[in-house]
Chains A and B, each alone.
Chain A
């Protein structure tokens, strides 16, 4: 069973969703228990995967391939496998989704559908992180689109329909570009190998083909890489493709915001590393400066916009944009610690942003407002929630001992140690990005100060503090952030060999 663990893991939530479909919609508690039970089970399976993963072995593990569609020139396989890049993200997905489901207990409206969609979404996200066939990857990528469209559109805030359509069209365009690029990559692979039947949609095989041929010109490779970059830029999101994000994050219900920021954005970063750098490593290095500049722009632009937000949730949304810039910066350095930092940041931001969105949601549920100026002094009425909000902000700012610090540190070490032949003027980008990090401290601490300290509004004197069930996501998310913060080895141990593997391709 351990050989097929990935398939079990991916399709387990789908089975849970089908099970829920058979339950009458009045039995809300049964439905909730099944959904949470399924996600906890998925979490345990992912922990088994984590434990069973061989840290000393580079290349794909738990590899499984089943032929699916076989036409004369087109072969599509069900091909899955994991390496040190995907395992942490798989575990992140199950953790964040499970905790988001705990955070969604307050949803009373159309409960059954909500959990069906969330579990389908979970299948899609896990599938993206384990798929090795580009076609399969694309299918899972798209599978996350429709559930999120419904979740935002049905359970979202006032502007939910607008936000869900914007999300649909932006990410749909991103997917379209991705699909075009995948097929173009396949076709070019075919021309290099003397016929489409010799090409492949398998990422490892296609990487092999691209590495060993001279038939594909540098211009074509560059165009392919840029197209992939744009496709994933929408999801990550990278300036100027980010405008769907504030709407979607703000309108989505708390649980969906947690999943969006915690996991869905990571699919963009993951795809960039897995497909972009995996198949076209030399092109990634060639465009290092562009990636670095966009990373810096993301950091500064996200931070500046966060500074001027009056809505707490929008502020957190823009902070996500800013933090994703660090991922780009880490990648652009093309050093071991830089890429490690990027992966660390993907995981760490997954926990921290989910926690931030949870805190905003919890405060909103009590005060019915997210406008920063209307809040204030909440540490007097809800001290525990206020405390966790502060802790989440600290983690996001990058306080030592928390995961944000480790990832930023690694990324910056990477940038300052970058090879000048790959990333010229690295130190300049590092310094500018550093200013962005200072801005992060400014907007987050300022926001926390204005909401939790200062004069308490009389309206908010009688608020209920954290409920027992709310402790689960709060402690869980903060706990993982601390764990990575004080014991980063637990993560670096898994990703190390994969990072070295990626770098060896660029050097060679």
Chain B
């Protein structure tokens, strides 16, 4: 029996600090006027996230667990870092958006963002089904609120409701799946369940399979894998654009982290039984995401389908494992690349759609004439998302591709590369608008706000620099012990 006094609470330092800072921001919001612009809260949130990121990076490097429910290892460290930096970038692009929209209460926005992050961090570190679910719900409920944040806007409200109903259903699926495991093993610890699985699989094959499939459906919803992706385009379109960025990056990667943790620990011993399911889902996700993206005219919907397609690429290493460390490295590396290029792209999408007041692809018309730097940066992000060399996205994709071939899943690798070529159409469609079409006569030069331009510059610099020296990050990731404790 673990007593509270015996637990090594210092392992939770980053989470505790972030929770405290989020509450402080929450309180400051109360103490200041309810409405109005609060850029200081935005800055404070970014600082809080960066402090937390530093704590994640430099404390508890040896890892450890609190009673096998909360675990700190290099796996959780890497994903927490990606999530924290991602949210910091999202807040960087939110500040401009919030200032333009009077109907958003700024203080609540920032604290909800931080609570969502906290939930994601908790999820990544969980070694117990209950903690996992609590983290997931903190993230999800905050996200529901964020999606509906423009409360006088019909589409935003619709997005919020849709997200609550469908997200709640997905959570129910996850819980139902978990209950089977609990019923069979009498424990919620994923380590203990893992040990019980091989014998249980022999006796209760169908129960375990059902449990697996229920959880797969639930988590598939969170990472927007086909066929559980239907919510994404509507919610992405209706949500305020920075929230869309948050959902497509942070929620998704947290979902991936938990899929890895749960399936690679709990179900590792029966990997051969379920690997193919993931292969099919990955293939479907890539094909459907990319092909439907072709028909989209709304930029946010386009990014939703692009995000679905990217989730498909990220699923490939789960289905085609060379070694587990390689799978984690591939997903972490491509996840990092995905965060940078997607958020960079979203920053520019916010700039352009806010300027034109519509979300149609044609708002990018002639961006090259109106803001050359943004047009070039956007092209780099899009080319990177398309996976053309020399970009960060290329290395990430090449690495995953290589792993798939090396693991003997050549057909999946072929699907991946063919759908990537399909994606040229829609990514280059935006590039065409920017470079090959003239701007409207009424369009003027776009003024770029500072925070936005900082975010774009950071994303651009890393995307380009790491394209030439990807080995710095890859070597570091490959040297990690990942889930060494299990």
Contacts and interface: CB of A to CB of B under 8 A. Distances in A.
B210 interface: no
A71 B421 contact: no
B401 interface: yes
Contact of A142 (B389, B471, B478): B389
Interface in B418-471: 418, 420-421, 424-425, 428, 432, 435-436, 470-471
B200 interface: no
A142 B406 contact: no
B424 A184 contact: no
B402 A74 contact: yes
Interface stretch (B45-53, B94-102, B230-238, B409-417): B409-417
A139 B414 contact: no
B471 A71 contact: yes
Interface string B386-402: 00111000000011011
A180 B413 contact: yes
Contacts of B478: 71-72
A187 B475 contact: no
Interface centre among B390, B406, B470 (most CB of A within 10 A): B406
A150 interface: yes
Interface in A125-176: 138-139, 142-143, 145-146, 149-150, 153-154, 160-161, 164-165, 168-169, 172-173, 176
Given A69-B471, A165-B425, A180 B414 contact: yes
A168 B436 contact: no
B284 interface: no
Contacts of A489: none
A164 B429 CA distance: 11
Interface string A177-188: 001100110010
Contacts of A149: 428
B417 A180 contact: yes
**B interface majority secondary structure:** helix
B410 A184 contact: yes
Nearest to B413: A180
A336 to B, nearest CB: 37
A180 B478 CA distance: 24
Contact of A165 (B417, B428, B475): B428
A169 B417 contact: no
Interface string A60-72: 0000000011111
A161 B432 contact: yes
B383 A146 contact: yes
Contact of A69 (B405, B417, B474): B474
A196 interface: yes
Contacts of A161: 432, 436
Contacts of B474: 69, 71
Contacts of A196: 406
A196 B389 CA distance: 23
Nearest to B470: A69
Nearest to B479: A72
A160 B432 CA distance: 11
Contacts of B383: 146
Given A71-B474, A138-B389, A169-B421, A187 B435 contact: no
Given A71-B471, A169-B425, A176 B418 contact: yes
A8 B346 CA distance: 38
A73 interface: yes
B389 A172 contact: no
A150 B431 CA distance: 9
B417 A176 contact: yes
B417 A179 contact: yes
B297 to A, nearest CB: 16
A145 B383 CA distance: 12
Contacts of B398: 179
A160 B437 CA distance: 11
Given A168-B428, A176-B418, A143 B390 contact: yes
B475 A71 contact: yes
B417 A154 contact: no
Contacts of A183: 401-402, 405, 413
Contacts of A187: 405-406
Nearest to A155: B436
Nearest to B437: A161
A176 B420 contact: yes
B421 A173 contact: yes
Interface string B98-111: 00000000000000
Contacts of B322: 73
Contact of B435 (A142, A153, A184): A153
Contacts of B399: 71, 74
Given A73-B406, A161-B432, A196-B406, A168 B424 contact: yes
A154 B322 CA distance: 44
A244 B375 CA distance: 27
Contacts of A71: 399, 471, 474-475, 478
Nearest to A196: B406
Contacts of A139: 389-390
Contacts of A184: 405, 410
B390 A172 contact: no
Given A72-B478, A146-B388, A154-B436, A172 B406 contact: no
Contacts of B470: 69
Given A69-B470, A153-B435, A176-B421, A143 B389 contact: yes
Shortest beta-carbon contacts, A-B, top 6:
A176-B417, A139-B389, A172-B421, A69-B471, A142-B389, A153-B436
Interface of A: 68-74, 138-139, 142-143, 145-146, 149-150, 153-154, 160-161, 164-165, 168-169, 172-173, 176, 179-180, 183-184, 187, 190, 196
22 contacts: A69-B474, A71-B399, A72-B478, A74-B402, A139-B390, A142-B388, A143-B389, A150-B435, A164-B436, A165-B425, A165-B428, A169-B421, A176-B420, A179-B401, A179-B417, A180-B417, A183-B402, A184-B405, A184-B410, A187-B405, A187-B406, A196-B406
Interface of B: 322, 383, 388-390, 398-399, 401-402, 405-406, 410, 413-414, 417-418, 420-421, 424-425, 428, 432, 435-436, 470-471, 474-475, 478
